[in-house]
Amino acid sequence: MVEVDTGMDRCGVDTAQECLALARQVMELPGLRFEGITGYEGHCSLTFDNELRHERQREAMTFFTGVADLLEANGIPCKIRSAGGIATWRWTAGYPGLTEIQAGTYVVMDNYHGRMVPHFEHSLTIQASVISRQSGKVIVDAGNKSVAAPDEVTIVGHDHKVFRFDEEHGIFSAPLGSPLQVGDRVTLVPGYSPSTVNWYDAYHVVQDNVVVDIWPIIPRGPGHHGLAGLAAPAR
Amino acid sequence: MVEVDTGMDRCGVDTAQECLALARQVMELPGLRFEGITGYEGHCSLTFDNELRHERQREAMTFFTGVADLLEANGIPCKIRSAGGIATWRWTAGYPGLTEIQAGTYVVMDNYHGRMVPHFEHSLTIQASVISRQSGKVIVDAGNKSVAAPDEVTIVGHDHKVFRFDEEHGIFSAPLGSPLQVGDRVTLVPGYSPSTVNWYDAYHVVQDNVVVDIWPIIPRGPGHHGLAGLAAPAR
């Protein structure tokens, strides 16, 4: 796969001609096979306004499918055309000429992406405990080492705004008081799940308030099977 | 130990009288022994100006040692008086009445704390590789999932400013070019090490360019012995 920069201003070829030249080079090299192009339009995820985001997505995909067209016009089959993120998945999935959508965050969701794509449920939460009720605040034992994008963290069932997140403390404002007391367990919805999941070794899969399974978060790297690894040690 | 809030506006008792009442309660309870007070003045670490930081540190420690004085005046020995962070360690270590310093970051250091406390060497670095040299940029394969406080990340031996850090990409500006090429290995100094260390399972201890040991980062939690664990499996 050749990466095409569709607007992230990051890695990938910048023009269709560059892509054509690189695809030809790939095809000439032994042991390599050209399969297609990938052009995640992730810059659109930074645009909250729906209209403007859609406009940027269209612009990115017009360019991207144009690259595929140039390849095919030059006799290079472009089987895979992969793009699309959580914030643009519907538009990119419906765009003619795409074969694969890269959206992933929808599986777990978070508050950041939820603002742009509100129709997915939030399946990823962080379990924490209240450790202090000082000075009109609710302080929990999950800080910015436990939940990413802490400014957007919310407590399920409680309307407390984030005051500040330190490394091991999550601090919420409760100027009008709170039913939460020291020792209470709370459920946090992360601000940003793509940078939260990688801090943990395992998902605890909960169904009807019961942990029914533990899934290791293997992509963290080798040896990260955490609790799941302990439950089923290698023999 | 009773926590005293010396200015963090977080957990801990807010007044000497509250501390006295809590210490008495501790002493009356079976199975508990009152050992002293802890009052990390971490809010000072957010003040870069040396004079102002020193002023805040003095204010915090005046209050903190006053709490200990009140306890002792009431017949409660306050054996441990623990405070001090990396950004105030010298002043707090020299402050009369303290018995323990909590500074820790000096062991590894980072660019954030280095601005305030420049006299410690940086022993913690992140090994990365250059994966792209697009558009006047140097792009490495360590992003904001690999190095905390990415805005302050630097490359050892190269004067490239951070352009942007995405999850898996670190992007540096190189408008005047760079000797770095795709495949080159680079050494990154983290912006903030207290939130970087916990993302890894092991330190690779390097002496004269040779990895001489691998230390597991055990405080990450159970089962996190990473490469070190693989090297010495439980029998």
Q: Residue B229: closest CA among chain A residues belongs to which residue?
A: A223
CB contact A171 to B (< 8 Å): yes
Question: What pLDDT was estimated at residue B31?
Answer: 97
- Between positions 41 and 60 of A, the ones with CB within 8 A of B are 42
Question: What pLDDT was estimated at residue B157?
Answer: 97
CA dihedral A154, A157, A160, A165 (to 10 degrees): -40
Query: What's the ipTM?
Result: 0.90
> Could you tell me which residues are beta bridge partners of residue B80?
B36
Residues B206-228, buried b or exposed e (16+ Cβ, 10 A)?
A: eeeeeeeebebbeebeebbbbbb
pLDDT tens column, A24-43: 999 999 999 999 999 999 99
CATH of domain B123-217: 2.40.37.20
A80-83 and A36-38 beta bridge pairing: parallel
Residue ranges covered by each domain of chain A: 2-103, 124-219
Q: From the first residue on, what is the mean pLDDT of each consecutive set of 10 residues in chain B (235 residues)?
A: 96 97 97 98 93 97 98 98 96 96 94 95 96 92 96 97 96 96 98 94 92 85 52 44
Q: Quick one: three-class SS letters along B158-189? A: ECCCEEEECCCCEEEECCCCCCCCCCCEEEEE
User: Residue A169 is nearest to which of B10, B135, B194, comparing CB atoms?
Assistant: B10
Cβ contact A223–B227 (<8 Å): yes
Per CATH, which fold does A124-219 belong to? Lyase, Ornithine Decarboxylase; Chain A, domain 1 (2.40.37)
User: Residue A11 is nearest to which of B11, B131, B199, comparing CB atoms?
Assistant: B131
For chain B, helix, strand, coil in percent to 5 are 30, 25, 45
Residue keyed to tokens 């805040």:
B56
- B188 and B142 Cβ atoms separated by less than 8 Å: yes
Cβ contact B227–A222 (<8 Å): yes
- Does the structural domain B2-103 have CATH classification 3.20.20.10? yes
CB contact B230 to A (< 8 Å): yes
Cβ contact B9–A135 (<8 Å): yes
Cβ contact A223–B222 (<8 Å): no
Q: How many Cβ contacts (< 8 angstroms) between chains A and B? A: 76
pLDDT tens column, A78-137: 999 999 999 999 999 999 999 999 999 999 999 999 999 999 999 999 999 999 997 799
Residue keyed to tokens 């089987």:
A79
